[in-house]
Amino acid sequence: MMTFKEIDAYLLSKKGATFDYPFDDKVRVYRVAKKIFALMIDNKQPLSINLKCHPFYALELRSMYTSVIPGYHMNKKIGIR
């Protein structure tokens, strides 16, 4: 299992990746070219991460892994749950 620091380092290793705190002082938002691709709460236990991906790939991942759940308020385009 990865730690917060390991995930943070991995996300920031993506070309052009930055982070900020637009919502509050705990939710770290990762962006590339001003587009959000991940959200993570600083050092929350248990650790969880909200990642953007294609909605149909998200369905596939949820069918394979019980720990993959829909991200709260992330899907604005189609109503897949």
Rounded to an integer, the average pLDDT of 55-75 is: 84
Which residues, including other chains, have CB under 8 Å from residue 36's CB and lie 6 or more apart?
29, 30, 52
**pLDDT at site 69:** 86
Token code pair at residue 9: 């380092």
The answer to whether 28 touches 19, Cβ cutoff 8 Å, is yes
How confident is the model at residue 74, as a pLDDT? Answer: 66
- Exposure string (b/e) for 6-37, b if CB count within 10 Å is 16 or more? eebeebeeeeeeeeeeeeeeeebbbbeeeeeb
Pairwise pLDDT comparison (80 vs 6), residue with the higher score: 6
User: Mean pLDDT, to the nearest integer, of 44-63?
Assistant: 89
According to the model, what pLDDT value does residue 80 have?
A: 46
6 vs 43 pLDDT, higher one: 6
Res 53 pLDDT > 50: yes
